[in-house]
Copies of this chain bind each other. A is one copy, B any other.
Amino acid sequence: MRWSQAFIPTLRESPADAEAVSHKLLVRSGFIRQLGAGSYTMLPLGQRVRLKIAGIIRDEINAIGGQEMMLPTLHPAEIWRKSDRYELMGDNLFKLQDRKGGDLVLGMTEEEIFAMLATELFSYRDLPQIWYQMHTKFRDEPRPKSGLLRVREFTMKDSYTLDIDAPGLDSGFDKHYDAYKRIFARMGLEAVDVQASSGAMGGKESSEFMVRSNAGEDWIVTCETCDYRANVEKATSALDEVDDGDPGALERFPTPGLRTIRALAEAHPEIASPERQIKTLVYIVDDEPVLVLLRGDHELQEQKLADETAAVMSRPGQVDEIRELLGADPGSLGAVAVDGPRIIADHALQGRVNMTTGANEDDWHYQGVSVERDIPVTKWADLRAVTSGERCIRDGELLELWKGIEVGHIFKLGTKFSEAFGAYVQDEDGISHPIIMGSYGIGLERGMAAIVEANNDENGIIWPVSVAPFEVLITVVRPDDEATMASANRLYDDFDSAGVEVLLDDRAERPGVKFADSELIGIPFRVTVGPKGVDAGVAEVAHRRGMVKSELPLDEVVATLSETVAAARFGI
């Protein structure tokens, strides 16, 4: 492609609202344009990258036996009702009607796969299967942001393993784990797998692949010495032992005006330091009030509560709801001898005595609370958010917290949906089993943004060869000079014949503009051809990564670079 004929609308300025580096750079370098909220057009360079990512994914999923399909994006609402997710997905799901009033949704996930299992697979002989597709998904994000990182419409590779038994599922899961490692490596991403909540899809074992980036929206907990790695939504940590002394008697005491953990701790340091308080939260979980108890110095990790309760809808209670339930305002709440609502307490409270908590009367608290003696806990659970400085549950070493971009997710979905859709297969003895599913996703455009987040400098993007829109850029310093242009054209043709993807910057622009644009769009190798070099029979070759430059004889440029490119094409 010749740049003079190409549509590469580079810009001097980043979009005013852009915060993420990938958002700024992809727009400035003419790879993408915003159409509406959370809605982006892939311009020609962006689409070239996107197709390369798709190619890598296709390669690797085919290599583990995946069979590619393509399912409609417009789904009959009935299959979402059948999977019980029509309401569950709430406003995130785009809903519409056809001309006959039939309810439809725009697919967020591949509900249709579930519908197909029951009508197409009948016997153990039909399994195992790995099915996948790469197609548009829709999500009505409340706050689309960060360019391609959080959008309303995107391409997802979603695959599904279908097995008759758990070992089959394990094998399909492991194949995907390995394929994902290879895919991200080939994309030039250092992605680590972390334990994750499986969220609204349900399911058991669940891992996310995370790329470290300040533009990420997830917090990841990793141990500095062992391989413990988890999303905060799932992470836990070791707690120091606490010596509470011998259990004392339960006793009410006045606490006028003391409505926060901190105020109470400061007023009564001897009995109410934060780690000796019980924090009582009221949540409305699927219309039912639930008391959530944590240690005073701990915070609730809401996803853990959602997972624990398998909630469709969960939200903090409002003040009037709380007063009606417990008879007091927040600041004086507690669960001592409370009768009625479910009480879910964090493991950190188990066995604790001599604690302090609200007495469900404004400005009164209890001291001397023995949690298991005085509070009718319905269920113990892991509810608190891990914070940095805590210690690993495996080896007791320090935990680190960092922000990551989720670039992939693999999880063992189990039989929930096959049971809902009646998808059973018979084994060799004629006995029916629900199909056991695994589910595996990669967002293509988010992956593209993650690559940019991880591969850039102050001048622009640094594409890994494997996903670069072009592999080599020839920058012509004086396209009006006949000999120079002839040399450049010869190189261009020779690269093309050698199967190297080459872009020729033949624009009538100043060299400074061309060099700046070349670094902005981030083609891995730049060959600069100018009158002086042509006279001397040389060209300058610059590696975008590090901007290491060298001179090469003109007649060696293509052979040398073709080899370098070919070696890098399947890796970083």
Contacts and interface: CB of A to CB of B under 8 A. Distances in A.
Interface string A151-180: 011000000000000000000000000000
Contacts of A7: 67, 120, 126, 129, 131
Nearest to A44: B67
Given A94-B98, A116-B33, A120-B33, A41 B67 contact: no
A112 B71 contact: no
A490 to B, nearest CB: 21
Contact of A39 (B39, B74, B135, B140): B74
A96 interface: yes
Contact of A5 (B33, B40, B65): B65
Contact of A41 (B72, B129, B152): B72
A104 B163 CA distance: 40
Given A95-B96, A120-B9, A36 B72 contact: yes
How many copies of the shown chain assemble into the complex? 2
A90 B115 CA distance: 31
Nearest to A67: B44
A71 B126 CA distance: 38
Contacts of A41: 69-72, 112, 116
Interface in A1-30: 1, 5-7, 9
Nearest to A126: B7
Contact of A68 (B5, B44, B91): B44
Contacts of A98: 37, 94, 140, 152
| Range for the number of chain A residues in contact with chain B | 35 or more
Q: Is the interface of A mostly helix, strand, loop or mixed?
A: mixed
A36 B136 CA distance: 18
Given A76-B36, A136-B136, A69 B94 contact: no
B65 A42 contact: no
B96 A68 contact: no
B35 A71 contact: yes
A70 B47 contact: yes
Contacts of A96: 94-96, 106
Nearest to A42: B70
Interface in A112-155: 112, 115-116, 120, 126, 129, 131, 133, 135-136, 138, 140, 142, 152-153
Given A96-B94, A98-B140, A99-B91, A74 B43 contact: no
B115 A75 contact: no
A353 to B, nearest CB: 48
Interface string A26-58: 000000010111011111101110110000000
Given A33-B116, A41-B116, 10 more contacts: A35-B71, A35-B72, A35-B75, A36-B76, A37-B98, A39-B74, A47-B70, A95-B96, A96-B106, A135-B136
5 contacts: A35-B115, A42-B70, A46-B69, A73-B73, A94-B104
